[in-house]
A and B are shown apart, each in its own frame.
Chain A
Amino acid sequence: MDCYTANWNPLGDSAFYRKYELYSMDWDLKEELRDCLVAAAPYGGPIALLRNPWRKEKAASVRPVLDIYSASGIPLASLLWKSGPVVSLGWSAEEELLCVQEDGAVLVYGLHGDFRRHFSMGNEVLQNRVLDARIFHTEFGSGVAILTGAHRFTLSANVGDLKLRRMPEVPGLQSAPSCWTALCQDRVAHILLAVGPDLYLLDHAACSAVTPPGLAPGVSSFLQMAVSFTYRHLALFTDTGYIWMGTASLKEKLCEFNCNIRAPPKQMVWCSRPRSKERAVVVAWERRLMVVGDASESIQYKQLTIQVLLDRLVLRRLYPLAIQICEYLRLPEVQGVSRILAHWACYKVQQKDVSDEDVARAINQKLGDTPGVSYSDIAARAYGCGRTELAIKLLEYEPRSGEQVPLLLKMKRSKLALSKAIESGDTDLVFTVLLHLKNELNRGDFFMTLRNQPMALSLYRQFCKHQELETLKDLYNQDDNHQELGSFHIRASYAAEERIEGRVAALQTAADAFYKAKNEFAAKATEDQMRLLRLQRRLEDELGGQFLDLSLHDTVTTLILGGHNKRAEQLARDFRIPDKRLWWLKLTALADLEDWEELEKFSKSKKSPIGYLPFVEICMKQHNKYEAKKYASRVGPEQKVKALLLVGDVAQAADVAIEHRNEAELSLVLSHCTGATDGATADKIQRARAQAQKK
């Protein structure tokens, strides 16, 4: 049995180390890694290699090749580099490969070598070319820092939301710094650079000289610097073979070490094992590797969440594995399985060799109506790949009709979009589609579409009523809706028109429309209104005062109150005010005037069509009992009791009721016997009742 410690080698006095292979790389590299640009993604992500990056030196026919491997060397993609010379490669936090070209253009590729997009680092960079570039990670995402040929720095802290920042000039910087790095502290990106024996910290506002605490003397130049992944620690390698390790804030020294090797190292990186408190820097030369360690406290953050892990599996198209993990972890469907299936579906629609029907069916079979799956998102992806028909097929599976609308609009299926919007019951959505349609279709077609969709039509009408009156009229015209057109012009006659001529003209148009709508009643009423308006105008001219806009009833009343009885009579005749209504009107007006004489004359002009009870009522309302009594005597037998009660003659009312032998009347009188004096009357009624019952 092997001894456990057999493969451990002593390191110094108190430490041991061992070396063993975790796994072997599957790749079959023909080039030396040193001849390639290499970028390995964090968290065991993919590795990118750009072979022959320095095209200028080689024959033009030898184009660089970009290879992407998994962390274990399984080839994922390989493509010929046809673009400009590349200065630097790096992976973003989303596992996108950023390729920084000499001209400042950054090309972005996916894990499988699929081109995503590109962006430029700005004109200044384009003019002065890129001397050096770093891709770094911040809490916002991934950033790019550029050192230009003019020895100026430009950086973007988050390539997902590109904002270029040109850093201030470093005073007296004539050549490239001996080494530099991007730092991220307090959510701000900085550049730390070394020029001869000096260190400078650049932020977006200023350039300040900094000194590491406890730095050994005699340093004339810094050859390498390294920051830890979390930007908490910094290591510096000087030309004296001295290594300084401390916090990146340059406030504290952790340790120092003199290795006595003065050759500049090829590479220096921080490393640490998970959950280990040991911080170490690995320094590499051509044929030598050195680990410099320090036992200080450190905290390992669990940065890779389950969600990110799943994303990474999805990016590698390992859908079944991702789903198994979700199921194993019992993740809620929406966060887990549904999301992965949706990703799978988005990948599926890109398979151009499969027919629309088959893709749609396959997707629906797998996804069914899994909650949290958005068919409209998948359809949008299909449309993005130019597969409109497939997109429409997929949209049919989308249960929420509202979700279908935006894509349908994008695909110019506006009418279908309108029906779906209406189905959704969301009036805002309907309105959005309507405005689209309005711009897309000619007016006639637009109106035609509306006509077939009453809900949309109502909505649009409501809007037009406030905002576009002319359109409203056109809408009614288009439909030959004469009734509504009539109403429209009636409204215009008092809301829009000021001048009397304009108002009459609007009413005339309204009347014509009503005739066309076979609504003679409305047409006649409208014509009456025209006549009334003209007449009111004349009255104002001749009599003065305010007549316009009064109703017919109020016009006649105003005339009577003004003493123009003749005019009032004429108006009533002209407009054929029914007799009963006219009598009520005159009665009320004369009583208001307290013109009792005229009222009496009027009451005797002919037999009242409304009887005489109203005279009693109205006089009593004016508290004129004397006049009221005059009319009470003329009230017909049916209403006599009521009239007598109105004028307060309870005793006589009782007599009449008894005479009528009317039970309802008797109770009515009885209910009025409230005063002390009415006791006798009440008795009388009770006696009469008793008598009636005997019979």
Chain B
Amino acid sequence: MAFPHRPDAPELPDFSMLKRLARDQLIYLLEQLPGKKDLFIEADLMSPLDRIANVSILKQHEVDKLYKVENKPALSSSEQLCFLVRPRIKNMRYIASLVNADKLAGRTRKYKVIFSPQKFYACEMVLEEEGIYGDVSCDEWAFSLLPLDVDLLSMELPEFFRDYFLEGDQCWINTVVQALHLLSTLYGPFPNCYGIGRCAKMAYELWRNLEEEEDGETKGRRPEIGHIFLLDRDVDFVTALCSQVVYEGLVDDTFRIKCGKCHGPLLGTSHMAGLVFNEIRNEHFSNVFGFLSQKARNLQAQYDRRRGMDIKQMKNFVSQELKGLKQEHRLLSLHIGACESIMKKKTKQDFQELIKTEHALLEGFNIRESTSYIEEHIDRQVSPIESLRLMCLLSITENGDARCSLDTHYGPEHLLTFSNLRRAGLLTEQAPGDTLTAVESKVSKLVTDKAAGKITDAFSSLAKRSNFRAISKKLNLIPRVDGEYDLKVPRDMAYVFSGAYVPLSCRIIEQVLERRSWQGLDEVVRLLNCSDFAFTDMTKEDKASSESLRLILVVFLGGCTFSEISALRFLGREKGYRFIFLTTAVTNSARLMEAMSEVKA
């Protein structure tokens, strides 16, 4: 249980430096506006900001009141207003409305806009168009790497996914490049680089150019991290679409972990960290409850030791152990509460059926049952996001379009959502006009044709072969299981999906690291439609220590899930590596779907 790290596991670099850097820069920026000021913060930046500089630090630097940036007139009476925002046009409009209202009222104040992580020209243009460019001063807070964990760095840019993969907007790539540059400045060059995906390739090349331009900064430094692997989210949508069953992923799916904190009804707002959590986060959910109750029994036993203590021992106990025990007690009851809540929601038959269907889709078995399950899901009109997710999963795994007359039934904006999903490649079309029932009838005909033998074989006779199926076969994503898969003693990364499926993204990373190149993976790369976007780049680096060569930075462009993190942590333990994760944001299936949804403003 709670697999410890191997004794020979390499040490992780100290990422807390990133926090200090960000804090110092923010303080510097705040001091550029001397005197008391009110700070307007964009909602999305509140949690990340809280992890960098808490309210008392802000107050120390003469921030008087804090406001959330929202579409309301400002009640601030301060003479100086400071805005901390993402570079978004709607924020510029908001600031312009405040400044222009002041102008109308004949009021003069000082305004400062701090863009994080960078300023975009389009924003300045809007300020100019709104006639306030001369009234505000602009600054950049280049804060793009938030350490959420010892091995997890998040850029906290969930919009990256939609902006790049749907809208084709490359504006955030430069932010990624700057973040990579910062890492190589702080932690030395990366001797071995791999990547797959259009965005990964572009980011990598721009980053390389930047390093060459600023030659000398990293030159001669000892690399601390031996490998870097860049991966586009659209290389593997399937993994991100699956329901998560490792504890941290499940908590994220159920309550949403935001910026390393959980905002659940039962959990209140609590940090997803600490001793208890570290032991269960990567565990399959089925093990967690047992673990927690064992833990509770141990705790009780430790409390019970008080009996029979003399005064001196008792004093010792109270001063040294009690606080720790109480803390552990608090965390334990927190997670037990979370578990109960999850159990209520998830271990119902519904959830088991859902998981079963997902596994069937991944394995390509019982397509008819799965499709009718999904149809029923749609018929019940419970959650459009869930239905969309299942349709996407069906569509990608079977490469058929699960088009249903979902649109008007959920509202017209979902017509746009559909078109978005198709554009991003989350819904694939086999042939125009194919409907779910059409696919279903084809499949069912084959299914009933017993003579055709295995359904998978039968499926291959369909006009267009599913790429996922072929990739799955090539990479052995569905482990052959003899007997029950022991989730307590996992033997491969598939444990994060109850032994049914090895996450595609993680498998690709594993394979490339093993070969130290893409050699022999040509067919997989072709099937992923990434022939032009898979790259390897090795620099001869004699200075790299063997320790650093076992540290791998994985960069997920478009987000990664906790399941993927758990799977790679497992792989690391097996192989003696340690993975460091850099993601544009931590994501899950619901976030993916919501990013594609059109909502009424």
Please determine whether B89 and A526 come into contact, CB atoms closer than 8 angstroms.
no
Residue of A nearest to B408 (CB): A528
Residue of B nearest to A522 (CB): B415
If the complex has contacts A427-B169, A428-B120, are A521 and B215 also in contact, measured as CB distance less than 8 A? no
Residue A529 CB within 8 A of the other chain? yes
B contact residues around A525 at 8 Å (CB): 405, 407-408, 412, 415
B contact residues around A408 at 8 Å (CB): none
If the complex has contacts A400-B213, A428-B120, A525-B407, are A459 and B381 also in contact, measured as CB distance less than 8 A? no
If the complex has contacts A487-B419, A553-B381, are A426 and B174 also in contact, measured as CB distance less than 8 A? yes
Tell me the minimal C-beta distance from B57 to chain A in angstroms.
31
Q: Which of B167, B206, B209, B380 has the most CB of A within 10 A?
A: B380
Please determine whether B409 and A553 come into contact, CB atoms closer than 8 angstroms.
yes
Residue A435 CB within 8 A of the other chain? yes
Please determine whether B215 and A371 come into contact, CB atoms closer than 8 angstroms.
yes
Residue of B nearest to A369 (CB): B212
If the complex has contacts A529-B408, A581-B379, are A495 and B169 also in contact, measured as CB distance less than 8 A? no
Residue B4 CB within 8 A of the other chain? no
B contact residues around A549 at 8 Å (CB): 411, 600
Contact of B376 among A495, A529, A610 (CB under 8 A): A610
Please determine whether B415 and A427 come into contact, CB atoms closer than 8 angstroms.
no
CB within 8 Å: A-B pair count? 119
Residue of A nearest to B414 (CB): A551
Please determine whether A462 and B169 come into contact, CB atoms closer than 8 angstroms.
yes
B contact residues around A160 at 8 Å (CB): none
Residue B601 CB within 8 A of the other chain? yes
Please determine whether A529 and B209 come into contact, CB atoms closer than 8 angstroms.
no
Residue B64 CB within 8 A of the other chain? no
If the complex has contacts A400-B209, A490-B412, A490-B415, are A458 and B169 also in contact, measured as CB distance less than 8 A? yes
Residue B525 CB within 8 A of the other chain? no
Contact of B89 among A399, A467, A487 (CB under 8 A): A467
Please determine whether B412 and A507 come into contact, CB atoms closer than 8 angstroms.
yes
Please determine whether A459 and B170 come into contact, CB atoms closer than 8 angstroms.
yes
Please determine whether B403 and A521 come into contact, CB atoms closer than 8 angstroms.
yes
If the complex has contacts A458-B169, A466-B90, are A580 and B413 also in contact, measured as CB distance less than 8 A? no
Interface residues of A in 438-469 (CB under 8 A from B): 454-455, 458-459, 461-463, 466-467
If the complex has contacts A525-B408, A580-B376, A584-B381, are A458 and B415 also in contact, measured as CB distance less than 8 A? no
Residue B129 CB within 8 A of the other chain? yes
Interface residues as binary, A403-427 with B (CB distance below 8 Å gives 1, 0 otherwise):
0000000000000000000000111
Contact of A551 among B129, B170, B410 (CB under 8 A): B410
Interface residues of B in 150-181 (CB under 8 A from A): 163, 167-171, 173-174, 177
Contact of B122 among A399, A463, A493 (CB under 8 A): A463
Residue of B nearest to A432 (CB): B121
Q: Which of B89, B126, B177, B407 has the most CB of A within 10 A?
A: B407
A contact residues around B122 at 8 Å (CB): 428, 431, 463
Interface residues as binary, B365-405 with A (CB distance below 8 Å gives 1, 0 otherwise):
00000000001101111000000000000000000000101
Residue A393 CB within 8 A of the other chain? no
Residue B598 CB within 8 A of the other chain? yes
Please determine whether B416 and A487 come into contact, CB atoms closer than 8 angstroms.
yes
If the complex has contacts A425-B170, A458-B169, are A552 and B409 also in contact, measured as CB distance less than 8 A? yes
Please determine whether A425 and B415 come into contact, CB atoms closer than 8 angstroms.
no
Tell me the minimal C-beta distance from A639 to chain B in angstroms.
11
Please determine whether A493 and B412 come into contact, CB atoms closer than 8 angstroms.
yes
Residue B125 CB within 8 A of the other chain? yes
A contact residues around B120 at 8 Å (CB): 427-428, 431
Please determine whether A425 and B381 come into contact, CB atoms closer than 8 angstroms.
no
Give the distance in Å from the alpha carbon of A335 to the alpha carbon of B206 in the complex: 25
Please determine whether B413 and A494 come into contact, CB atoms closer than 8 angstroms.
yes
* Chain B count of residues within 8 A CB distance of the other chain: 46
Residue B471 CB within 8 A of the other chain? no
B contact residues around A339 at 8 Å (CB): none
Give the distance in Å from the alpha carbon of A339 to the alpha carbon of B442 in the complex: 72
Give the distance in Å from the alpha carbon of A581 to the alpha carbon of B416 in the complex: 22
A contact residues around B173 at 8 Å (CB): 425, 427
Residue B202 CB within 8 A of the other chain? yes
Please determine whether B409 and A551 come into contact, CB atoms closer than 8 angstroms.
yes
Residue of B nearest to A462 (CB): B169
A contact residues around B56 at 8 Å (CB): none
Residue A561 CB within 8 A of the other chain? no
Residue B60 CB within 8 A of the other chain? no
Give the distance in Å from the alpha carbon of A583 to the alpha carbon of B177 in the complex: 54
Interface residues as binary, A562-591 with B (CB distance below 8 Å gives 1, 0 otherwise):
000000000000010110110111001000
Residue B349 CB within 8 A of the other chain? yes
Residue A483 CB within 8 A of the other chain? yes
Residue of B nearest to A428 (CB): B121
Residue of A nearest to B213 (CB): A400
A contact residues around B168 at 8 Å (CB): 454-455, 458
Tell me the minimal C-beta distance from A357 to chain B in angstroms.
28
Residue of A nearest to B171 (CB): A427
Interface residues of A in 512-554 (CB under 8 A from B): 521-522, 525-526, 528-529, 532, 549, 551-553
Tell me the minimal C-beta distance from B125 to chain A in angstroms.
7
B contact residues around A588 at 8 Å (CB): 380
If the complex has contacts A455-B168, A553-B410, are A585 and B121 also in contact, measured as CB distance less than 8 A? no
A contact residues around B177 at 8 Å (CB): 425
B contact residues around A507 at 8 Å (CB): 412
Residue A232 CB within 8 A of the other chain? no
B contact residues around A610 at 8 Å (CB): 376, 379
Residue A642 CB within 8 A of the other chain? yes
Give the distance in Å from the alpha carbon of A642 to the alpha carbon of B349 in the complex: 10
Give the distance in Å from the alpha carbon of A78 to the alpha carbon of B205 in the complex: 53
Residue of A nearest to B87 (CB): A428
B contact residues around A455 at 8 Å (CB): 168, 170
Interface residues as binary, A152-172 with B (CB distance below 8 Å gives 1, 0 otherwise):
000000000000000000000
Interface residues of A in 475-531 (CB under 8 A from B): 483, 487, 490-491, 493-495, 507, 521-522, 525-526, 528-529
Interface residues as binary, B74-98 with A (CB distance below 8 Å gives 1, 0 otherwise):
0000000000000001100000000
Give the distance in Å from the alpha carbon of A631 to the alpha carbon of B96 in the complex: 62
If the complex has contacts A432-B121, A494-B600, are A581 and B381 also in contact, measured as CB distance less than 8 A? yes
Give the distance in Å from the alpha carbon of A458 to the alpha carbon of B87 in the complex: 17
B contact residues around A487 at 8 Å (CB): 415-416, 419
If the complex has contacts A428-B121, A459-B169, A490-B413, are A581 and B378 also in contact, measured as CB distance less than 8 A? yes
Give the distance in Å from the alpha carbon of A399 to the alpha carbon of B209 in the complex: 9
Give the distance in Å from the alpha carbon of A491 to the alpha carbon of B380 in the complex: 26
Interface residues of A in 577-625 (CB under 8 A from B): 577-578, 580-581, 583-585, 588, 610
B contact residues around A454 at 8 Å (CB): 168
Tell me the minimal C-beta distance from A374 to chain B in angstroms.
11
Contact of A495 among B409, B418, B601 (CB under 8 A): B601
If the complex has contacts A455-B168, A553-B381, are A526 and B412 also in contact, measured as CB distance less than 8 A? yes
A contact residues around B129 at 8 Å (CB): 467
List B residues at the A interface (Cβ < 8 Å): 89-90, 120-122, 125-126, 129, 163, 167-171, 173-174, 177, 202, 205-206, 209, 213, 215, 349, 375-376, 378-381, 403, 405, 407-413, 415-416, 418-419, 598, 600-601
Can you name 8 A-B pairs with beta carbons within 8 Å?
Answer: A400-B213, A462-B169, A487-B415, A525-B405, A577-B409, A581-B379, A584-B376, A585-B381
Known: A529-B408, A581-B379. 18 other contacts (CB 8 A): A371-B215, A425-B177, A425-B206, A431-B120, A467-B89, A483-B419, A490-B412, A490-B413, A491-B416, A525-B407, A525-B415, A529-B412, A549-B411, A551-B408, A553-B409, A575-B408, A577-B409, A584-B381
